[in-house]
Amino acid sequence: MALLQIQSVEKRFGGLRAVDGVSMDVQQGELLGLIGPNGSGKTTLLNVLSGHMAADAGEVLLDGRSVLGLNPTQLTRLGVLRMFQMTRVFNRVSAFDNLVVCGLAMGLDEAKAGARAVELLEELQLTHVMHLDGGQLSGGQKKLLEFGACFMVPPRIALLDEPFAAVHPVMKETMAAFIKRRNASGQTFILVSHDMPVVVELCARSVCMNAGKVLADGPTQEVLNGVAVIEAYLGEQAHEGHEHG
Ligand X SMILES: Nc1ncnc2c1ncn2[C@@H]1O[C@H](COP(=O)(O)OP(=O)(O)OP(=O)(O)O)[C@@H](O)[C@H]1O
Residue 18 site contact among Mg ion, ligand X, none (CB < 5 to 8 Å, cut-off depends on kind): ligand X
Stretch that binds ligand X, among 12-20, 23-31, 136-144, 221-229 (CB under 6 A): 12-20
- 134 binds ligand X per the rule CB under 6 A: no
If one asks whether residue 43 binds Mg ion (CB under 5 A), the answer comes out as: yes
Dihedral angle at the C-alpha atoms of 33, 156, 180, 105, nearest 10 degrees?
120
Shortest distance in whole angstroms from residue 191 CB to ligand X: 13
The piece of 31-39, 91-99, 124-132, 168-176 that touches ligand X (CB under 6 A) is 31-39
Interface segment toward Mg ion; rule CB under 5 A; list 25-33, 35-43, 163-171, 180-188:
35-43
Q: How far is the CB of 176 from Mg ion (least distance, A)?
A: 19
Longest CA–CA span in the chain (Å) reads: 55
Q: How far apart are the first and last CA of the chain?
A: 36
Assess 82 for contact with ligand X (CB under 6 A): no
The CB-of-211 to ligand X minimum distance in angstroms stands at 8
Give which of Mg ion, ligand X, none residue 140 binds (C-beta under 5 to 8 Å, depending on kind): none
Q: What is the CA radius of gyration of the chain?
A: 18
Instruction: Closer to ligand X by CB, 126 or 190: give it.
Output: 190
Q: Does 38 bind ligand X (CB under 6 A)?
A: yes
**Residue 8 makes contact with ligand X by CB under 6 A:** no
How many residues of this chain bind Mg ion (CB under 5 A)? 1
- Residues interacting with ligand X, by CB under 6 A? 13, 16, 18, 36, 38-44
- Residues interacting with Mg ion, by CB under 5 A? 43
